Amino acid sequence: MLIELADNDAVQMLASGLEPLRGAELAEIVPGHETLLVVWNSKLPPLQRVEEIVGGAYAVAEAIEAPSEVTLAVRYDGPDLAAVAEICGVSAEQVVARHLAAQYRVGFIGFAPGFAYLLGGDPALQPPRLAEPRTRVPAGALAIAGPYSAVYPRSSPGGWNLVGSCEEPIFDVERTPPALLTPGTRVRLVAQ
Amino acid sequence: MSGAIEVIKPGALTTVQDLGRPGFAELGIPRSGAADRGSLTLANRLVGNDERVAALECTLIGPSLLFHEGGVIAITGAEVQAQVDGAEVPLNSAVTVPAGGVLELATASAGLRTYVAVRGGIEAQPMMGSMSSDLLSGLGPAPLRAGELLGSGEATAAVPPIGVAPVAAPAPEPLLHVIEGPRADWFTADALELLTSSSWEVSSDSNRSGVRLKGPKLQRARSDQLLSEGMVDGAIQVPESGQPIILLADHPTTGGYPVIAVIVSADLDAAGQLRPGQQLRFSSS
């Protein structure tokens, strides 16, 4: 079942409120940008029961502690920094200053394990994806595309603008949870 | 660990698969696991394994395996000629391989994926609760390579007294039942009609993440971009090309193409057996 919500804050709130039902009733709780995918363990219950569960989840979410915050040390040494500055009509120094100043939150994960879509970026920094994706983007690349920022968890093909790098391991299967940036996590960037 | 099995030839693509690693989709980790779950669990039951343990998923062209210590195996899924030391052995049945025996699987003649369960289960390093190879994410063991040695575990129950399990071979032109997708309203009425009235061809550009289909272009009723949202197994998403893609076990957990319809869970295993070049149809009833 895909639940449409007003914005990503509402998605995070409902996701955290449904978390206690994981296992017993719910198999997967997957945030999207403005949707929450809920996969039931067995058959979809009647709509009235779904409404009860969702209603109850909001009450649960309000009592939950504030989401975790992660600080990432980054360097603005990416090959697309100058191009992003030109597209956005600001100087490279301004790209760095504005990108560091924003307050980010992980909206959802997609593309690859641990690939966190960071929302909350400066509206002046929304370069489109590259016309030709790179066949290889290095692990730890700090990138921007449209309203999103992200750090590539591992080397992969990619079409985002590379503005910098981050040495912090973003995804490690030996860690619990393996993803450093989970949906709802607040993220602060600091210049290394 | 016991029962060393040596990979003489790995086949086109042979991977270790169990029922996957559910429950981590919000971290971007696909469930993965066998693309045809019913065939995996049947193979395991035939050799007295817990049905959730790992087996081999062989894609189109099967492997050759040397059983140094012998063992009991079962072969299910796609139709394929299987031989032990040159003598044909039945599918969907427990088969004893003598010490030093070689199992050879030919090219599948119907369906795409054959499962080989070994009594005791194939052993691999578990990752997040599963031994499955997730080829999209690079989690789990790599596909089999020539010369590699596989281990098997300890059997937990007796081999059941079954001759041959009655299983229908994968259909040449399967009919997959669908329900309306969450973004059906992004498409024209014609597109919804075409989805179920047309015959679709499986593209060779298909894998464990998705089956790409070729057929009439499914037109959208709107031109804006969908924000990324969660995806399920069997979702039929339609990119700008208008050519649908069925999401399989290793699919990305979120995506930005609208989902026109979703294959019902009872028909998901059949989707995992679709082979390049074959035709299929969808039915909404």
Q: Could you give the number of structural domains in chain B?
A: 2
On whether both A95 and A145 belong to a single domain, the answer is yes
Whether B255 and B184 share a structural domain: yes
**B215 and B266 housed in the same domain:** yes
Q: What angle do helix axes A8-18 and A47-63 make, rounded to 10 degrees?
A: 100
Q: Does A27 touch chain B (CB under 8 A)?
A: yes
Do B189 and B226 have their domain in common?
yes
Residue A73 and residue A112 in one domain:
yes
Q: Are A100 and A51 found together in one domain?
A: no
**Residue B212: domain span:** 175-283
Same domain, A147 and A82: yes
Q: Is residue B26 part of a domain?
A: yes
Same structural domain for residues A43 and A99?
no
Q: What is the pLDDT of residue B3?
A: 61
Residues of chain B with Cβ-Cβ distance to A112 below 8 Å are 28, 136-137, 252
User: Average pLDDT, stretch A64-73?
Assistant: 86
Which pLDDT score is estimated for A176? 87
Confidence at A42, pLDDT banded by 50, 70, 90: confident
Question: In terms of domains, do A39 and A79 share one?
Answer: no
Are residues A114 and B27, on separate chains, in Cβ contact within 8 Å? Answer: yes
pLDDT for residue B2 is more than 60: no
Residues in B touching A117 (Cβ below 8 Å): 228
Chain A residue at shortest CA distance from B180: A1
Same domain, residue pair B68 and B118: yes
Residues A89 and A162 in one domain: yes
User: Quick one: A108 and A176 in the same domain?
Assistant: yes
Domain co-membership, A83 together with A144: yes
**Is B163 inside a domain boundary?**
no
B109 and B201 part of one domain: no
Residue where one domain finishes, among candidates A47, A63, A79: A63
Per-residue model confidence as pLDDT tens digits over B124-177: 999 999 999 999 899 999 999 999 999 999 888 899 988 899 998 899 999 999
Please state the rounded mean pLDDT for residues A104-132: 95
| Number of domain units in chain A | 2
Which candidate from A109, A112, A117 shows the least CB-CB separation from B26?
A109
Evaluate if residue A62 carries a pLDDT over 90: no
Same domain, A182 and A116: yes
Structural domain for A41, as ranges: 2-63
Residues B91 and B214 in one domain: no
Q: Which residues of A touch B254 (CB under 8 A)?
A: 30, 32, 108-111
Residues of B with CB below 8 A from A30's CB? 25-26, 230, 253-254
Output the domain CATH number for residue B190: 2.40.100.10
Question: Among partner residues B27, B227, B252, which is closest to A177 by beta-carbon distance?
Answer: B27
Structural domain contains residue B179 = yes
Q: CA nearest B254 in A: which residue?
A: A110
| Residue where one domain finishes, among candidates A11, A39, A63 | A63
Q: What's the complex ipTM?
A: 0.92
Q: Establish if B224 touches chain A: CB-CB under 8 angstroms.
A: no
Answer with the one of B82, B117, B152 that is the final residue of a domain: B152
Domain boundary residue among A26, A42, A63?
A63
pLDDT band of residue A87 (cuts 50, 70, 90) is very high
- Are both A106 and A14 inside the same structural domain? no
Give yes or no: residues A59 and A80 share one domain: no
Whether residue B19 has pLDDT greater than 60: yes
In terms of domains, do B31 and B145 share one?
yes
- The whole-number average pLDDT for the span B236-264 is 96
In this predicted structure, the answer to whether residue B1 has a pLDDT above a threshold of 50 is no
